[in-house]
A and B are shown apart, each in its own frame.
Chain A
């Protein structure tokens, strides 16, 4: 056999063997059966089945009449049975499988498909891999993966539930390209598919990519010049390192990367669902997240603060306030504030918390086990209700009050006054507080009297319907709600209180009864609080009787041996920097999710992340300094045919900027960007407490919900009512954990760029800026390009500009504005190479 692929398979090299022997204690079988089966099934569906249908069925299927060589490939049984020549598929043994021999043209007497070019190397590689994985074939069997709730030993063999394995990076033929272990993993994979990496990107292209990826803004013309000079004087590597370090140190980094976490944390400033009431204090959590990213709070600590900040020790009131704000993570989920049944509401809040935490941190949703054992992943109803107890022992403070639009109220969390935080709402005179209290007491008395009167009427056999009507009850309910809403915001003296969203432990801890089919009226036995059984970690299941268990839960999640937390987070970061995760379903690491393209690399990343004390900045730095990241995004037809999705990373992915970067770049180009942090948000400052559906009627609130020069991360994030620019350019749905945003390309986006007052105003300012800064048509066109695309125009582009201006010049203000708007509207402006 001449195929080098086979040779590698049969003779693992010495280094690999050595590494294996070191790891043998920690690593069980390299490819456990269940994991391999899931990966193999996915591979079968995506690659093998289409290949068989396209190239083999014509001669080797029931439909083909008498099959060639008595070999049928259209059912599992027949394919396994083989034909006249022998076994076509021997699970686990590619070298004995004639199918592979035939399609790889390794035997001159057996070349398939007949009289045709050999199939692409990637296809042959896929078939080999599939057979190696045991050739799982769902045809005529139930293809739907089954949950392993009843067999946790088996379930633990799924790849994502295995502890990441430390491996030496593989060797490659090309020994000069790789700069880091990451590169070595990537390169080995490329070589195994006969691909080579792309050359490094041009310095200006890379600089633009780096700036958008790290701080979400284009490099200024000055920054570009400094960088290019450095490349010239100190070399590419040194210039790059210096640039990366300065971007990581910039406060803009936290605004960019904080927003990524806010996507995952489904951050929003209103309740969503039918009532959709504003959350006027949610912005404090937003600022907390941004600060954490800027201060590089280790990710394990960051998670712990968000899950259990209220239970952590603190040095002073400022720290206490910060830790309480962190728990806003648990409080700001979507809520059905119109739910009539208080117990149902509570059950739904807990469910949302479980769903968000497990999906965001583990890439698994335990919440699916609310009504029945999880259909696919190994979580039982007991697991769910054990976790539900943790959150049921927690009081969630979200700070909305009863109004005609909603029946459910929630207290806000009062922060220590000495923390000296900004407060956006006004106080009220002390006398007014007293008056309100009196009014509230009167209303309560009226209700009590009313009820008593009804009782008396009933006892006396009279008709009670006119005594205290439903209208009376509702009037009191709503009016009291409004008064309580005013009183909860101020001290007894009427001074405004610093408020936040967050959680605290309850006075009494609760073990929740298992609810048959998730129904609140069918309680079963209480389930002791603990964490899902499938992931066994030492010292993780001791929840003190007097605590909810959130602190222990965060320790369990951030345990260095937790198989999911570091994998999921490093995959998220990889997605943000490379355009797609190694696991493309960033929020689903379950059996219905996408298997990793580079499982060994993902393990390496997870281990590195934990080794580096969960530092996000260090991790980002490591990735952007790889040659993998540095590649050009240039199209290569041959590589594209093999790997159109760029899963193997033969080039940098071309990406569209996200909504915030598009808007921020316009403000940066026009010179109008205000990089200071606004106090609070439009929600806290102007909208206040009210149903979001009514804000369109308030003339003070811009209809596009913009009207600001601050960075987009500070725009109001209202569920079902996003600012136009965010809504149009695929902002993360704020009711869902979102690791990967959509990218659409539709005419309504073009209409925004052509006709919206926001873009028109930026174009006008950009034109004015250019006019003020330089003289002369060519200089102005160059500056415009530099501001918009971080590069010089080429001769063609200058010619296009001259044609546009015709006999007029850049002195024509209207024409220059139109020109500037065109630049802001080009595809290049909102795309990264």
Chain B
């Protein structure tokens, strides 16, 4: 019998329909070798056109960071602070709230940034700042899921899952999509889910078990004792014995799939077991930050009792993961940007936790020559209103806000689009979530209109029937 590559067999298997024809071959191929070959869905795939970015690090700023206090400088907002405005939704009119922070221009590009991100400001010339973002709803959960999946109404694959589906994985021993510290609310697992895409495309959650800084300092303990990923080691079986066991599990799963014909949950299980088996050898090294130099750790702000410790670890881990070939890494910053109250104190706190690690990540990627083909994204689900709440904070604003990207084929030192004079609404070159998604895929070499998945007779896209690539920001 002609040898059938396992990749080929699994590929046909993943498609579900063509399965029966290949069942016996797959069974044969499966018997040959477990653990060495590349799984079908995750095999690297050709792009639609040359890619500018090969991988993504998405720094997710949960809660809606205030663009008018960070990146979108509005002199009129300051000069008219305290004036009643008609743009507010609440009763009796709202009052404009000037930013309590000083803005200045940075880098050769002269990008405006406020004083609360001094470290990031040093990398101004790397940033592509989109100041004209808008999204459909001013509610956390809907906006958060729309940012991740394009839809707030329906369960759809996340942008990470689409990326992995479109490009495949560069490292067969690691999940292609990893999410660190994702919030349980705001849509929960939907935000890294695969929906109708093959289950292997969904994000693998890593992290947890932190001790609060207060106790870590008090007890002299590490903030993150124990491994960030448990059960990575088998203490009873040798690798050979485990391989035999894994083959048995797969044979039984394949037999079940053969009976069921179409059963994505089982296809996903087959692939995730093989990936898990391969992860055992590689993951412990990748997750071990001790192999980094003291200098590197300091740059990221890692150290007991430091505000930057947790996010610093996560940013460094993100770099290690993409370096090891993980396609899409998302980190949710361990702070809430939902500053309804006391913004003048709370926003600097959130910045103190994130500023240095983010800056270190950009510098580190640059220094390793990885920034050119790594797309770094910094984004929250929306921005905040120019008018105040009790004169100390700001409400949600979906009609105009800012996010930035760096590396991976975007122009550095660019401020794209604009909101009105107060920062309330995107008026120049507005960029909707769908446009932003289309642009991300474009940078990855994927045409958002061609990256489709047929589900129940309809071709679905990340961008539904919308989306225009923002070509002006491409490098």
A binds B: yes
Task: Assess whether A641 is in contact with B245, with CB atoms less than 8 Å apart.
Answer: no
**Chain B interface: which of A314-322, A356-364, A415-423, A753-761?**
A753-761
Partner of B209, one of A521, A721, A825, A826: A721
Partner of B265, one of A521, A654, A821: A654
Task: Assess whether B272 is in contact with A749, with CB atoms less than 8 Å apart.
Answer: yes
Chain B CB within 8 A of A291 CB: no
Given A654-B265, A747-B175, A800-B248: A754 and B242 within 8 A (CB)? yes
- List A780-801 residues whose CB lies under 8 Å from chain B: 794, 796-797, 800-801
- List B158-217 residues whose CB lies under 8 Å from chain A: 175, 184-185, 188-190, 193, 196, 199-200, 202-206, 208-212, 214-215
**Chain B residues with CB under 8 A of A656:** 265
Given A754-B234, A800-B252, A826-B252: A747 and B137 within 8 A (CB)? no
Chain A CB within 8 A of B368 CB: no
Task: Assess whether B231 is in contact with A372, with CB atoms less than 8 Å apart.
Answer: no
Partner of A645, one of B232, B255, B456: B456
The 8 A CB mask of A614-650 against B (1 = contact, 0 = none) is 0000000000000000000011010011111100000
Q: How far is the CB of B395 from chain A (nearest CB, A)?
A: 8
Task: Assess whether B456 is in contact with A748, with CB atoms less than 8 Å apart.
Answer: no
Task: Assess whether B265 is in contact with A746, with CB atoms less than 8 Å apart.
Answer: no
Task: Assess whether A747 is in contact with B204, with CB atoms less than 8 Å apart.
Answer: yes
Residue of A nearest to B278 (CB): A747
Task: Assess whether A691 is in contact with B215, with CB atoms less than 8 Å apart.
Answer: yes
Task: Assess whether A521 is in contact with B390, with CB atoms less than 8 Å apart.
Answer: yes
Task: Assess whether A748 is in contact with B184, with CB atoms less than 8 Å apart.
Answer: no
Task: Assess whether B210 is in contact with A693, with CB atoms less than 8 Å apart.
Answer: yes
Task: Assess whether B456 is in contact with A640, with CB atoms less than 8 Å apart.
Answer: yes
Task: Assess whether B272 is in contact with A745, with CB atoms less than 8 Å apart.
Answer: yes
**Chain B residues with CB under 8 A of A827:** 253, 256, 263, 265-266, 269-270
Task: Assess whether A144 is in contact with B137, with CB atoms less than 8 Å apart.
Answer: yes
Task: Assess whether A745 is in contact with B256, with CB atoms less than 8 Å apart.
Answer: no
- List B363-406 residues whose CB lies under 8 Å from chain A: 389-390, 395
Please report the C-alpha to C-alpha distance between residue A372 and residue B395 in the assembled complex, in whole angstroms: 11
- List A21-52 residues whose CB lies under 8 Å from chain B: 42, 45-46, 49-50
Please report the C-alpha to C-alpha distance between residue A405 and residue B219 in the assembled complex, in whole angstroms: 13
Residue of B nearest to A826 (CB): B252
The 8 A CB mask of A514-531 against B (1 = contact, 0 = none) is 001101011000000000
Chain B CB within 8 A of A804 CB: yes
Partner of A828, one of B153, B248, B252, B390: B252
**Chain B residues with CB under 8 A of A744:** 189, 193, 199, 202
Task: Assess whether B241 is in contact with A818, with CB atoms less than 8 Å apart.
Answer: yes
Residue of B nearest to A145 (CB): B137
Task: Assess whether A760 is in contact with B236, with CB atoms less than 8 Å apart.
Answer: yes
**Chain A residues with CB under 8 A of B246:** 754
Please report the C-alpha to C-alpha distance between residue A54 and residue B458 in the assembled complex, in whole angstroms: 9
Q: How far is the CB of A276 from chain B (nearest CB, A)?
A: 9
Task: Assess whether B276 is in contact with A754, with CB atoms less than 8 Å apart.
Answer: yes
- List B422-475 residues whose CB lies under 8 Å from chain A: 455-459, 464-465
Residue of B nearest to A368 (CB): B139
**Chain A interface: which of B58-66, B69-77, B221-229, B347-355?**
B221-229
**Chain B residues with CB under 8 A of A516:** 90-92
**Chain A residues with CB under 8 A of B235:** 755, 757
Task: Assess whether A42 is in contact with B153, with CB atoms less than 8 Å apart.
Answer: yes
Please report the C-alpha to C-alpha distance between residue A159 and residue B209 in the assembled complex, in whole angstroms: 44
Task: Assess whether A797 is in contact with B215, with CB atoms less than 8 Å apart.
Answer: no
Chain B CB within 8 A of A53 CB: yes
Q: How far is the CB of B374 from chain A (nearest CB, A)?
A: 23
Chain B CB within 8 A of A274 CB: yes
Chain B CB within 8 A of A470 CB: no
- List A554-605 residues whose CB lies under 8 Å from chain B: 592, 594
Task: Assess whether B89 is in contact with A372, with CB atoms less than 8 Å apart.
Answer: yes
**Chain A residues with CB under 8 A of B152:** 592
- List A393-444 residues whose CB lies under 8 Å from chain B: 404-405
Please report the C-alpha to C-alpha distance between residue A49 and residue B251 in the assembled complex, in whole angstroms: 43
**Chain B residues with CB under 8 A of A152:** none
Task: Assess whether B204 is in contact with A748, with CB atoms less than 8 Å apart.
Answer: yes
Q: How far is the CB of A349 from chain B (nearest CB, A)?
A: 17
**Chain B residues with CB under 8 A of A478:** none
Please report the C-alpha to C-alpha distance between residue A752 and residue B229 in the assembled complex, in whole angstroms: 10
Task: Assess whether A822 is in contact with B248, with CB atoms less than 8 Å apart.
Answer: yes
**Chain B residues with CB under 8 A of A818:** 237, 241, 244-245, 248
Task: Assess whether A50 is in contact with B465, with CB atoms less than 8 Å apart.
Answer: yes
Chain B CB within 8 A of A696 CB: yes
Chain A CB within 8 A of B261 CB: yes
Chain A CB within 8 A of B262 CB: yes
- List A797-833 residues whose CB lies under 8 Å from chain B: 797, 800-801, 803-804, 818-819, 821-823, 825-828, 831, 833
Chain A CB within 8 A of B277 CB: yes
Chain A CB within 8 A of B49 CB: no
Task: Assess whether B175 is in contact with A746, with CB atoms less than 8 Å apart.
Answer: yes
Task: Assess whether B153 is in contact with A751, with CB atoms less than 8 Å apart.
Answer: no
Chain B CB within 8 A of A724 CB: yes
Please report the C-alpha to C-alpha distance between residue A727 and residue B234 in the assembled complex, in whole angstroms: 20
**Chain A residues with CB under 8 A of B255:** 794, 796-797, 800
Task: Assess whether A644 is in contact with B455, with CB atoms less than 8 Å apart.
Answer: yes
Task: Assess whether B252 is in contact with A746, with CB atoms less than 8 Å apart.
Answer: no
Chain A CB within 8 A of B233 CB: yes
Chain B CB within 8 A of A295 CB: no
Please report the C-alpha to C-alpha distance between residue A754 and residue B276 in the assembled complex, in whole angstroms: 9
Q: How far is the CB of A83 from chain B (nearest CB, A)?
A: 21
Please report the C-alpha to C-alpha distance between residue A277 and residue B390 in the assembled complex, in whole angstroms: 31
Partner of A750, one of B138, B237, B262, B273: B273
**Chain B residues with CB under 8 A of A46:** 153-154
Task: Assess whether A696 is in contact with B251, with CB atoms less than 8 Å apart.
Answer: no
Partner of B212, one of A45, A372, A693, A756: A693
**Chain B residues with CB under 8 A of A274:** 212
Chain A CB within 8 A of B260 CB: yes
Given A697-B219, A760-B236, A797-B252: A746 and B272 within 8 A (CB)? yes
Please report the C-alpha to C-alpha distance between residue A263 and residue B202 in the assembled complex, in whole angstroms: 24
Please report the C-alpha to C-alpha distance between residue A801 and residue B244 in the assembled complex, in whole angstroms: 11
Chain B CB within 8 A of A93 CB: no
Chain B CB within 8 A of A120 CB: yes
Residue of B nearest to A806 (CB): B244
**Chain B interface: which of A7-15, A167-175, A177-185, A729-737?**
A729-737
Of the listed residues A45, A49, A745, the one surrounded by the most CB atoms of chain B closer than 10 A to its CB is A745
**Chain A residues with CB under 8 A of B221:** 697
- List B70-107 residues whose CB lies under 8 Å from chain A: 89-92
**Chain B residues with CB under 8 A of A779:** none
Chain B CB within 8 A of A375 CB: yes
Chain B CB within 8 A of A703 CB: yes
Please report the C-alpha to C-alpha distance between residue A22 and residue B63 in the assembled complex, in whole angstroms: 52
Chain B CB within 8 A of A1 CB: no
**Chain A residues with CB under 8 A of B303:** none
Please report the C-alpha to C-alpha distance between residue A803 and residue B255 in the assembled complex, in whole angstroms: 14
Chain A CB within 8 A of B5 CB: no
Chain B CB within 8 A of A460 CB: no
Chain A CB within 8 A of B230 CB: yes
Chain A CB within 8 A of B136 CB: yes
9 contacts between A and B (CB under 8 A): A640-B262, A641-B457, A691-B212, A703-B226, A747-B275, A751-B279, A754-B246, A755-B280, A800-B251
- Chain B residues close to A by CB (< 8 Å): 17, 31, 89-92, 136-139, 142, 152-154, 175, 184-185, 188-190, 193, 196, 199-200, 202-206, 208-212, 214-215, 218-219, 221, 225-226, 229-237, 241-242, 244-249, 251-253, 255-256, 260-263, 265-266, 268-270, 272-273, 275-277, 279-280, 340-341, 389-390, 395, 455-459, 464-465
Please name the 7 residue pairs, one residue from A and one from B, whose CB atoms are nearest each other, closest first: A644-B456, A750-B276, A745-B199, A742-B189, A745-B268, A747-B276, A827-B269
**Interface contacts beyond A697-B221, A745-B269: sample of 19 additional A-B pairs, CB < 8 Å, sorted by A:** A45-B153, A50-B464, A274-B212, A516-B91, A516-B92, A592-B152, A635-B263, A640-B456, A703-B230, A736-B185, A747-B204, A757-B235, A800-B248, A801-B248, A822-B245, A822-B252, A825-B273, A826-B253, A831-B265
